[in-house]
């Protein structure tokens, strides 16, 4: 499925870089008019302004989604659909009412689970601490 998204969502001309990290493939395009972002299906991370390294907290979060996908298998489509519908039907960018530092999207269970998985992976393999102010593991 990720290959199809690459084929139709990012043409060769649009994709600035393709990188691999721990079994995941980042297909990135740079856009100076927006911040970092990404979408993950299977082992494919379709990113905007991302780098496949441990300095990029958005990439590390998206990598957590690849770990979710590996654990959940086809059921990973459930959080993927929930996340997509959250973005399509509103409210995802609104500040969270209990802590306005975060937007609603940040505190969804499937997002915090991806952060927990990524935090464990990067701590184990790179000895890196996790920044819960950027990507919360618990709320």
How do the domains of the chain map onto residue ranges? 2-126
pLDDT at position 15:
58
Which two three-digit tokens encode residue 71?
Answer: 């654990």
**Tokens at residue 102, please?**
């975060």
Q: Mean pLDDT for the chain? A: 83
pLDDT at residue number 14:
54
For 116, the token pair is 């927990």
pLDDT of residue 13 exceeding 90: no
**pLDDT, average across residues 41-63:** 93
Q: What is the mean pLDDT of residues 72-77?
A: 93
| 46-50, 82-86, 104-108: range with lowest mean pLDDT | 82-86
CA proximity to 16, closest of 41, 46, 44, 42: 46
CB of 124 closer than 8 Å to CB of 87:
no
Residue 3 predicted with pLDDT over 60: no
């Amino acid at each position: 499925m990720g290959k199809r998204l690459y084929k139709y969502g990012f043409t060769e001309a649009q994709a600035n870089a393709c990188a691999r990290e721990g079994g995941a493939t980042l297909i990135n395009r740079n856009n100076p008019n927006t911040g970092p972002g990404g979408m993950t299906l299977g082992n494919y991370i379709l990113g905007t302004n991302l780098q496949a390294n441990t300095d990029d907290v958005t990439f590390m979060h998206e990598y957590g989604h690849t770990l979710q996908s590996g654990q959940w298998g086809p059921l990973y489509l459930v959080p993927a659909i929930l996340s997509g519908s959250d973005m399509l039907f509103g409210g995802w960018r609104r500040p969270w009412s209990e802590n306005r530092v975060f937007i609603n999207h940040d505190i969804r269970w499937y997002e915090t689970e991806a952060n927990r998985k990524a935090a464990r992976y990067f701590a184990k393999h790179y000895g890196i601490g996790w920044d819960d102010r950027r990507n919360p593991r618990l709320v």
